[in-house]
Amino acid sequence: MSIISVLEFSDVIDVLIVAVIAYYVIRYVRSTRAAQLVYGLAIVLGVYLLSDVANLYTLNWLLKNLLSVGLIALVVVFQPELRRALEFLGRGRFTTRGFSLEKEKYNANIDILLRAIDYFAARKEGALIVVEHETALQDVADTGTMLDAQLTEPLIENIFYKGSPLHDGAVILRGNRILAAGCVLPLTENPNLSKDLGTRHRAGIGMTEVSDALVLIVSEETGIISMAKDGNLSRFLDLKAVEKALLNLYISKKPDITAVPRAGFSIFRKGGSDE
């Protein structure tokens, strides 16, 4: 007797519903920082199954107990994501937008960002700009004001103008658009950082500890340009260093694109002392 012969219409509906739910759950998780935790859990589960097949009793017992306790821990770890997912489901907004940026667009992006950074540094206007990479930052963007606006020099300068209600938060860039402004970033808990670093720098470092984003920081006290990546902070930068970092970020997103010589900036700022 074949499987098709005993398959009923309700079974097809059942499988389709589960498939749709799994699709949207995976799609949502990929848009948040929880994706890395899910990948880690998948690896642990895979090792557990392999240990069962290979009769590695001690390892199997250890992982089995770890997974049983871990189910409770996952509810705590994923609490923000679970709450946000239920909110999105209630609003009918269980969708995300991916990152896509062509060569001519990222060249234009870099030019706009360099001019804006130079503008902020010259006037000692604080700025905190998060450039999204592989890790989608929709959950961070939701802490601020959603804009989804074309990245332009006047707009980003107005956001960080000292009289603007959004100037104290971070801007999230996705592709060639400003996704959100006035966003709250997670602060780093690194105890080895200099006590002189303020909240803006600590927020920039903290963001790169939980994602692969690049964060550009301009000090409001001194105009010094800094950059955070992978939990590390580089300070006293000029525009050439920022340009190189942005090029590396965009090119690594699309490895089939080779960088070509661009019209660089002749004006750059060298750092003195920061706050």
Distance CA 224, CA 235 (A): 7
Are 110 and 183 within one domain? yes
**pLDDT digit string (tens) for 3-25?**
666 677 788 888 889 888 888 77
With b for 16 or more beta-carbon neighbours within 10 A and e for fewer, the 204-230 pattern comes to bbbbbbbbebbbbbbbbeebbbbbbbe
Identify the pLDDT of residue 256: 36
Which of 67, 91, 115 corresponds to the end of one domain? 91
Which of 91, 125, 144 corresponds to the end of one domain? 91
Q: Tell me which of 275 and 193 has the higher pLDDT.
A: 193
Are 12 and 74 within one domain? yes
**Distance from the Cα of residue 1 to its chain's centroid:** 51
Distance CA 57, CA 46 (A): 15
User: Does 109 map to a domain?
Assistant: yes
Are 217 and 244 within one domain? yes
Are 163 and 55 within one domain? no
Give the mean pLDDT of the chain: 81
Identify the pLDDT of residue 148: 94
Are 115 and 237 within one domain? yes
Are 235 and 145 within one domain? yes
- Dihedral sign computed on CA atoms, order 136, 209, 84, 67: positive
The average pLDDT across 62-70 equals 81
Residue 238 phi/psi, 5-degree rounding, is: -105, 175
Are 169 and 212 within one domain? yes
**pLDDT digit string (tens) for 24-46?**
777 766 656 666 677 777 888 89
Are 176 and 140 within one domain? yes
User: Does 265 map to a domain?
Assistant: no
Those residues with Cβ within 8 angstroms of residue 266's Cβ, 6 or more apart along the chain or in another chain? none
Q: Tell me which of 270 and 144 has the higher pLDDT.
A: 144
Q: Tell me which of 67 and 148 has the higher pLDDT.
A: 148
269 within 8 A of 239, measured Cβ to Cβ: yes
User: Does 273 map to a domain?
Assistant: no
- Tokens standing for 193? 């950082």
Distance CA 121, CA 224 (A): 6
Does residue 66 register a pLDDT over 70? yes
Identify the pLDDT of residue 114: 97
Query: Which CATH number characterizes residue 237's domain?
Result: 3.40.1700.10
User: Does 116 map to a domain?
Assistant: yes
Does residue 71 register a pLDDT over 80? no
User: Does 260 map to a domain?
Assistant: no
Are 227 and 123 within one domain? yes
- Most distant pair of Cα atoms in the chain: their distance: 81
The stretches of 7-133 forming alpha helices (DSSP H) are 9-30, 34-53, 57-77, 79-91, 103-123
Pairing mode, strands 170-174 and 127-131: parallel
Q: How far is CA 1 from CA 15, 19, 23, in A?
A: 21, 26, 31
Q: Tell me which of 215 and 49 has the higher pLDDT.
A: 215
**pLDDT digit string (tens) for 208-240?**
988 889 999 999 999 999 999 989 999 999 999
Does residue 144 register a pLDDT over 90? yes
Residue type for 59, please? Answer: L
Distance CA 90, CA 110 (A): 38
**pLDDT digit string (tens) for 104-135?**
778 899 999 999 999 999 999 999 999 999 88
Identify the pLDDT of residue 222: 94
Number of domains in the chain: 2
Distance CA 55, CA 211 (A): 37
The pTM score is 0.63
Does residue 103 register a pLDDT over 80? no
Are 72 and 35 within one domain? yes
Distance CA 148, CA 168 (A): 19
Identify the pLDDT of residue 70: 73
Strand partners, 146: 180
The average pLDDT across 142-167 equals 94
> In terms of residue numbers, what domain contains 16?
3-91
> What strand order describes the sheet that includes 232-234?
145-150, 177-183, 170-174, 127-131, 214-218, 225-229, 232-234
Least confident range from 85-94, 178-187, 214-223: namely 85-94
At residue 259 the predicted structure's pLDDT band, cuts being 50, 70 and 90, is very low
